[in-house]
Structure 1
C-alpha cells in the first residue's frame, strides 16, 4: 500500500512538472522579446486578451535606457482609435487612472509599463484582442525617435510583476470625473 501511495504521488508530481515545463519555456520566450533603437532597449511588449466587446485595452512593456536618458512622448496603434500613455495613482484609497504627457526613461535605468502603473491605454478598440495574436505598437521617443514593436496578446488574467485592474472594460471602473480622470475601486 505504501509503495502504491508513493508511486501515485510520484506520478502526480511528474505530470505537474511535465505540464509546467512547456509553459515556462513558452513564457520565457515571450518574455525575451526585445527591440533596440537609439540606445534604448524595449523588452516584452504584451497585452491582455479582451473577451466580448471590449471598449478599451492596455499594453505593457519594459524600456531600458541607454547611456543617456530618453522620454516616451506618445504611442499609436492600428488596433485602437485612440492610444495614450496612462498612469495609476492611489488617492485616499481610490485608484485613479490618468493620461500623462510622457514617461521618462532614465540613463541606464528602467521604465516599466505594467498593470497598476504606467501603461499604454488602447481606447475604442476596433476589435477584441485575442490570445496568441499580436499587433503593432509605435512608440515615439524624444531622442530615439519612432520605434514599432509587435505586442503579443496574452491570456485575459495575465499579470506582470505589478498588480492592477484588468483593462478589458477598466475592471472596477466607476466613472470619469469632471477632470477626465478615471476613478477606480481597489
Structure 2
C-alpha cells in the first residue's frame, strides 16, 4: 500500500496538535483576573475530583471566593487538604478564600483547592469542564477548566502570595 508523503505529514501534524497541552483562557471580571484553571482527570465511577485555579485581584478592595457549581458534579466545595497522622484529610474552608487587593491566590494540589463531589460524568484528560465560581463582590463567573492527567501537578503558574505559595509544573 502506497501512502503519500502529504498524508503522512498531515497525520503527524494532527497527532502533534492533539498532544499539545490545553491552555485555559484568562477570564477578567471586574477587578479579578482568573487564569490557570485546571482539573485532574477522574475515571468513570470516581466520586471526587479536584480542580485548581489562580485568581488575581487588580482592584483596591478585597473580594472573596465563596463557592461555585458545575454540571459535572452535584457539589463544588472549597477545601483545604492536609496531612494528619500520616493520612490526607480534606476540610471545608469556612468563609471562603479572600483575595486581597494586589494579591494573587493560587488554589493548588496539597493546599486549598476545589473539590467536586458526586461526579455525574467521567472527567477525561484533554477535555474542558465549565464551572461557575461565586465571589462575594464580583458575583458568578463561568470559567473553563482544562482536564489534565490524573497525576498532573498542573501548568506552570506565576508565583503566589496566598493559598499555598507554590509554583506548579507538569
| Pairwise TM-score range, normalised by the shorter structure | 0.7 to 0.9
Structure number with larger C-alpha Rg: 1
Residue in structure 2 matched with residue 39 of structure 1 by the alignment: 31
Give, in whole Å, the separation in 2 of the partners of 1:146 and 1:93: 37
In structure 1, stretches of 5+ residues that fail to align are 1-21, 164-186
- In the alignment, does 2:100 pair up with 1:106? yes
Query: Out of 81, 86, 110, which is 1:88 matched to?
Result: 81
Q: How many residues end up aligned between the 2 structures?
A: 139
Q: Deviations over 1:96-133 (max 9, x none)?
A: 21011301112111111111111110000001100111
Runs ≥4 residues deviating over 6 A: none
In structure 2, stretches of 5+ residues that fail to align are 1-15, 155-166
Length-normalised TM-score, structure 2:
0.74
Provide the secondary structure at the position in 2 that maps to 1:158.
Answer: coil
Residue in structure 1 matched with residue 58 of structure 2 by the alignment: 66
CA RMSD across the alignment? 2.2
Larger fraction in helix: 1
Length-normalised TM-score, structure 1:
0.68
Where in structure 2 are the equivalents of 1:28-177 lying within 5 Å? 30=23, 33-67=25-59, 68-91=61-84, 93-101=86-94, 102-160=96-154, 161=167
